[in-house]
Each structure stands twice: as structure tokens, then as C-alpha cells.
């Protein structure tokens, strides 16, 4: 693999390095949707919106329903998981992600009852891991006890140091939320609750990888995920539109992530950088093992709002509207069986067009074997269609991490070759050393 090539030929080498999954698991390659098809979904994640309400009001939030305080009925939880578990379509390990608006706006008592229902209905063959994505402003000792008791995975949304965070993560009266979020993080730490952070990279923070890393290390944060600030719904990101005469966004993000990753590894204090650590096993995986993309498989990801409305594919589609696809809904779990929802899904224009996008990516993109055709929601909002291919989002979240990993691998092999031949290591060898430093994986 160490043939000295770099970014220009990296994509081709991705195809060679990865076991090419010609189709995402279980998804036949076909262009028509009117015939009965698609034997059996593989449910890997259920994203539940217990309430659309959020107690804060970030400027980049795309959720249209974030002032609605409706909370999901327990009967909807029961109906949902009766259908999910009764379908026989669940992965042996399934994530239930409680997300969007702010899941902690529903009381602990809601989750105690819901978790008990899920546990009662769960077949022994399915392991369920609960996870929350939270702004952390409502976390207290009682929540921490609950998280520990139920082994809940926690993701905290924080965009870096105060100035970066407060620029866009605000209360409804326009004040920054940094202090309240940090209070939540300190409460998690004081109670020994493991968590990772999710930070949105903006047009400002993309130039500050050192500042972000120093902040995380200083606050004892050792697991980090990045989202790039996207254009979704009515929000237009200035990350995607800014730049002027400077380097393009791909170059800027590559510089950001390379610097962050290398310094994070060298520090020994950051265990996990999602953009790298989730991409590594997708590149270097056993022959014949497909890299799934659950955002393109029917019902691999089931998204349910507080009223029981169901969508699939990208979770961001739930709650949005579009002239061509309407509300993206496939049914309501209080009314329809999961079999009926699957039938509606595979017969929909939504599925037809997402699959056309998968075929287009497979036919044209060097990164397909790792990426599996990206996020449909970003294709729709960036390109105006599910059927296209490249987006700024996939360029940053798929192509850049893949390029950086293969770049580091090349340097590692150059190190070995130099070592074996007794020659001095190449001048870029520190990168290889940093890249080879051990990393832990987050389940
Ligand atoms: S979504 Fe982007 S990176 Fe992924 S396969 Fe399609 S074009 Fe390639």
C-alpha cells in the first residue's frame, strides 16, 4: 500500500484497501420501487424525540418544532418498541438515541418508565444501549445517578471555549449558555459519568485547532466529535459560503483536523477523535466485510417524533417539509405497523431517489467503499436532490478523514522502510509517530 502516492490517488487506494461493499447490506441495486422488494431491514438505531422542545435557542438550529412542549405518551413508547422488537429485524446490538430538541426537558420519571417498558419488551437476543445527546444545561446529580444506573451513553454539545460556544449556542433571551453547559459537564465529571463532546466547527473555529484542543485538555475532556456547521432547513452556514480568495474549505478543514489529530495523539490526553477513530476501521477492515451506511437503508435507522410519526434515513428529515417529498413521513407508529411503514418506505419516491444517489456515488466516487454514499439530508439541502453525489459535507466528513489516515499510513511505512534500510527517517516522521499512537475506541 505504501506506493508513495498522496491525495490525488488516495481515493483509488481506498477502493483497494477496503473490502468493497457493492451495495449497503440488504439493499438491492435496482432503480424501480413499484415492485415488492427489499426482504428484511436491519434495524441498528432508533432515534426517539421524546419532546421537540429545547430549553435553549442556538442560532444554527434547524429544528422547526423546538418551542413545542409536547412529550411522547408512554403508550407510544410501548407501541414503538413492541413493533421494533416484534419485527425480528433488530441488530443484535441496537442503539436507542434520545435526541432533539433537548431530551432532558422530559423528566427522569418519563425515562424510568420508558426504559422499563423497553427492557420488558426486549428479546434476549438484542442488546440495547441507550444514549442521550444533550446541551447539558439541565444535568444535575439526580440525572447523573440515572445515567450511571442505566449505563446511558452521553454526548454533550459544546462548541469549544466560551467565545466560540456563546457565539451561537444561546438562551431564548440571547445570552450565552457556556457557563450552564460547563456546570453540566462538571457535574458529570464529579459523578464519574463517562461522556463525549460534540462540537460544531464554525468558520471561526476551523482556524483554531490548538485553541480547541487546549480547551478540551484543560477541562479533562478526552472524547471529541466534530460536526461541521451545515446548511440545513432555513439555516445557511457561513462555513460553506465564506472563504473568499483564501484556501478552499476542504483544505482548511484538512489542516484543522490534521493538526488537531496529531496534537491530540501526541498529548496522550485525548482518547477518541470520532472523525479519525470511526473512519479507521472502515478503511482497514477484513476482506468481505461491508461498510454499512444506515442512512441509506430502509428502517436501518428509525426516527420517531413525540407524536409517533416515523421517518427513516437521515434523522434530520423528521420534522422538515419539502415540495417534492412533503413531510418525509412514512407513517405513524400509533396507527401503522412497522411492516406497513416498511412497505410505504420501499415504495416511496424518497427511497427511489436515495437509492439513485447511492448508485451515482458508487459509479463515480473513489471514496464510496468507505463512505457508502453519505448523508441523504445533505445531498438534498446542498444539491437540491437525493440523486446526486458530492456535497461539502461528505467532502469534509468522509474524504478529508480518509485522506489524512492514508497520508499518515504512508508516512508510517516510509518510517519503517527508512528504519529497515538504515537511512534517516523522512522529515515528516513525527506525523507517523503521532499517528501510530494508540487510540481507544468508543463503542
Ligand atoms: S457521499 Fe460523497 S464521499 Fe460519499 S460516496 Fe458519495 S460523493 Fe463519495
pLDDT interval class at 235 (50, 70, 90): low
For residue 141, how far is its CA from the centre of ligand 1 (angstroms)?
Answer: 43
Does residue 402 register a pLDDT over 70? yes
What whole-number percentage of the chain has pLDDT above 90? 72
User: Closest ligand 1 atom to the C-alpha of 368?
Assistant: 5
Indicate whether residue 399 lines ligand 1 (CB < 6 A).
yes
Q: In terms of pLDDT, which residue wins out, 49 or 427?
A: 49
Indicate whether residue 389 lines ligand 1 (CB < 6 A).
yes
From edge to edge, which strands make up the β-sheet containing 272-273? 272-273, 223-228, 196-201, 153-157, 127-134, 90-98, 43-48, 301-304, 309-312, 331-332
Cis amide prior to 101 (ω within 30 degrees): yes
Q: Give residue 237's pLDDT.
A: 73
Mean pLDDT, the chain, integer: 86
Q: Which of 20, 21, 390 to mutate to test the pocket of ligand 1 (most atoms within 8 A of CB)?
A: 390
Region 315-331: mean pLDDT is: 93
Q: Give residue 383's pLDDT.
A: 93
Q: Give residue 424's pLDDT.
A: 63
User: Closest ligand 1 atom to the C-alpha of 389?
Assistant: 7
Q: How far apart are CA 232 and CA 285, in angstroms?
A: 32
User: Closest ligand 1 atom to the C-alpha of 398?
Assistant: 3
Region 238-255: mean pLDDT is: 79
Region 264-281: mean pLDDT is: 96
User: Closest ligand 1 atom to the C-alpha of 390?
Assistant: 7
For residue 388, how far is its CA from the centre of ligand 1 (angstroms)?
Answer: 9
User: Closest ligand 1 atom to the C-alpha of 366?
Assistant: 8
Does residue 417 register a pLDDT over 50? yes
Indicate whether residue 338 lines ligand 1 (CB < 6 A).
no
Q: In terms of pLDDT, which residue wins out, 101 or 43?
A: 43
Q: How far apart are CA 21 and CA 73, in angstroms?
A: 40
pLDDT interval class at 60 (50, 70, 90): confident
- Angle CA 335–337–343, to nearest 5: 115
Residue 121 three-state SS: helix
Q: How far apart are CA 103 and CA 136, in angstroms?
A: 10
Residue 325, burial from CB neighbour count under 10 angstroms (0-12, 13-18, 19+): middle
Q: How far apart are CA 331 and CA 356, in angstroms?
A: 23
Residue 114 three-state SS: helix
Q: Give residue 420's pLDDT.
A: 80
Selection from 378, 354, 391, 293 nearest residue 31 by Cα: 354
* Lowest mean pLDDT, pick from 62-66, 79-83, 205-209, 264-268: 62-66
Q: Would you state the cell numbers that stand for residue 176, as one nine-digit string?
A: 450565552
Does residue 96 register a pLDDT over 70? yes
For residue 35, how far is its CA from the centre of ligand 1 (angstroms)?
Answer: 27
Q: Which of 24, 359, 371 to mutate to test the pocket of ligand 1 (most atoms within 8 A of CB)?
A: 371
For residue 425, how far is its CA from the centre of ligand 1 (angstroms)?
Answer: 35
Q: Are strands 153-157 and 196-201 parallel, antiparallel or unpaired?
A: parallel
Indicate whether residue 361 lines ligand 1 (CB < 6 A).
yes
Indicate whether residue 374 lines ligand 1 (CB < 6 A).
yes
Q: How far apart are CA 123 and CA 125, in angstroms?
A: 5
Indicate whether residue 397 lines ligand 1 (CB < 6 A).
no
pLDDT interval class at 290 (50, 70, 90): confident
Cell 428502517 locates to: 299
Q: Give residue 426's pLDDT.
A: 54
Region 207-229: mean pLDDT is: 96
Q: How far apart are CA 371 and CA 222, in angstroms?
A: 26
Does residue 439 register a pLDDT over 50? no
| Beta carbons within 8 Å of 270's beta carbon, 6+ residues apart | 213, 216, 217, 222, 223, 224, 264
Q: Give residue 7's pLDDT.
A: 33
For residue 275, how far is its CA from the centre of ligand 1 (angstroms)?
Answer: 15
Q: What is the pLDDT of residues 175-205, one digit of tens each?
A: 999 999 999 999 999 999 999 999 999 999 9
What whole-number percentage of the chain has pLDDT above 70? 84
Q: Give residue 432's pLDDT.
A: 38
Indicate whether residue 371 lines ligand 1 (CB < 6 A).
yes
Selection from 85, 91, 162 nearest residue 333 by Cα: 85
All domains of the chain in start order, with CATH: 41-283 (3.20.20.70)
User: Closest ligand 1 atom to the C-alpha of 357?
Assistant: 6
Region 332-360: mean pLDDT is: 97
Strands of 205-353 (E only): list them: 223-228, 272-273, 301-304, 309-312, 331-332
Q: How many residues does the chain have?
A: 443
User: Closest ligand 1 atom to the C-alpha of 375?
Assistant: 1
For residue 364, how far is its CA from the centre of ligand 1 (angstroms)?
Answer: 9
Which ranges of 70-198 would DSSP assign to H, the alpha helix?
Answer: 74-86, 108-121, 141-149, 162-166, 178-190
Enter the DSSP assignment of 322.
B
Cα of 338 vs its chain's centroid, Å: 24
* Lowest mean pLDDT, pick from 37-41, 162-166, 386-390, 417-421: 37-41
Indicate whether residue 367 lines ligand 1 (CB < 6 A).
yes
pLDDT interval class at 288 (50, 70, 90): confident
Which pairs with CB-CB distance under 8 Å and at least 24 residues apart come from 252-259?
A: 252/206, 252/207, 253/201, 253/206, 253/228, 253/396, 253/400, 254/400, 254/403, 254/404, 255/209, 256/201, 256/206, 256/207, 256/209, 257/209, 257/226, 257/400, 257/401, 257/404, 258/404, 258/407, 259/209, 259/210
Q: Which of 283, 368, 379, 393 to mutate to test the pocket of ligand 1 (most atoms within 8 A of CB)?
A: 368
Q: In terms of pLDDT, which residue wins out, 416 or 170?
A: 170
Question: What's the whole-model pTM score?
Answer: 0.85
Region 225-232: mean pLDDT is: 83
Q: Are strands 301-304 and 309-312 parallel, antiparallel or unpaired?
A: antiparallel
pLDDT interval class at 239 (50, 70, 90): confident
pLDDT interval class at 240 (50, 70, 90): confident
Enter the DSSP assignment of 312.
E
Q: In terms of pLDDT, which residue wins out, 418 or 7?
A: 418
Q: In terms of pLDDT, which residue wins out, 253 or 422?
A: 253
Q: How far apart are CA 312 and CA 46, in angstroms?
A: 9
Amino acid at each position: 500500500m505504501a506506493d508513495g502516492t498522496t491525495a490525488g490517488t488516495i481515493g483509488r487506494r481506498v477502493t483497494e484497501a477496503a473490502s468493497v461493499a457493492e451495495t449497503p447490506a440488504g439493499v438491492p441495486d435496482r432503480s424501480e420501487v413499484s415492485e415488492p422488494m427489499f426482504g428484511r431491514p436491519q434495524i441498528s438505531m432508533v432515534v426517539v424525540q421524546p419532546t421537540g422542545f429545547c430549553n435553549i435557542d442556538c442560532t444554527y438550529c434547524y429544528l422547526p418544532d423546538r418551542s413545542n412542549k409536547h412529550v411522547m405518551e408512554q403508550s407510544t413508547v410501548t407501541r414503538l418498541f413492541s413493533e421494533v422488537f416484534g419485527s425480528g429485524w433488530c441488530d443484535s446490538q441496537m442503539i436507542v438515541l434520545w435526541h432533539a430538541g433537548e431530551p432532558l426537558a422530559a423528566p427522569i420519571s418519563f425515562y424510568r418508565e420508558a426504559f422499563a417498558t423497553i427492557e420488558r419488551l426486549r428479546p434476549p437476543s438484542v442488546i440495547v444501549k441507550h444514549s442521550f445527546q444533550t446541551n447539558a444545561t439541565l444535568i444535575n446529580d439526580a440525572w447523573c445517578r440515572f445515567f450511571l444506573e442505566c449505563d446511558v451513553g452521553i454526548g454533550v454539545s459544546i462548541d469549544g471555549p466560551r467565545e466560540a460556544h456563546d457565539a451561537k449556542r444561546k438562551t431564548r433571551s440571547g445570552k450565552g449558555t457556556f457557563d450552564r453547559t460547563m456546570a453540566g459537564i462538571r457535574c458529570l465529571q464529579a459523578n464519574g459519568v463517562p461522556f463525549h463532546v460534540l462540537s460544531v466547527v464554525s468558520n471561526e473555529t476551523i482556524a483554531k485547532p490548538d485553541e480547541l484542543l487546549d480547551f478540551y485538555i484543560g477541562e479533562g475532556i478526552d472524547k471529541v466529535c466534530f460536526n461541521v456547521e451545515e446548511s440545513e432547513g432555513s439555516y445557511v452556514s457561513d462555513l460553506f459560503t465564506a472563504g473568499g480568495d483564501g484556501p478552499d474549505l476542504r483544505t482548511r478543514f484538512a489542516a484543522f483536523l490534521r493538526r488537531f489529530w496529531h496534537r491530540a495523539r501526541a498529548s496522550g490526553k485525548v482518547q477518541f477523535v470520532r472523525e479519525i477513530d470511526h473512519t479507521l476501521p472502515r478503511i482497514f477492515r477484513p476482506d468481505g466485510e461491508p461498510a454499512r451506511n444506515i442512512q441509506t437503508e430502509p428502517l436501518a435507522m428509525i426516527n420517531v417524533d413525540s407524536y409517533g410519526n416515523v421517518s427513516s434515513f437521515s434523522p434530520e428529515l423528521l420534522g422538515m417539509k419539502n415540495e417534492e417529498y412533503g413531510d418525509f413521513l412514512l407513517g405513524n407508529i400509533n396507527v401503522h405497523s412497522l411492516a406497513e411503514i416498511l412497505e410505504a418506505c420501499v415504495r416511496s419516491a424518497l427511497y427511489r431517489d436515495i437509492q439513485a444517489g447511492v448508485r451515482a456515488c458508487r459509479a463515480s466516487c473513489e471514496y464510496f467503499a468507505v463512505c457508502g454514499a453519505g448523508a441523504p439530508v445533505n445531498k438534498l439541502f446542498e444539491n437540491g436532490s437525493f440523486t446526486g453525489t458530492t456535497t461539502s459535507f461528505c467532502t469534509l466528513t468522509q474524504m478529508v478523514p480518509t485522506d489524512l489516515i492514508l497520508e499518515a499510513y504512508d508516512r508510517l511505512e516510509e518510517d519503517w522502510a527508512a528504519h529497515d534500510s538504515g537511512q534517516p527517517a523522512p522529515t515528516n516522521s513525527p506525523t507517523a509517530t503521532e499517528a501510530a499512537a494508540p487510540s481507544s475506541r468508543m463503542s
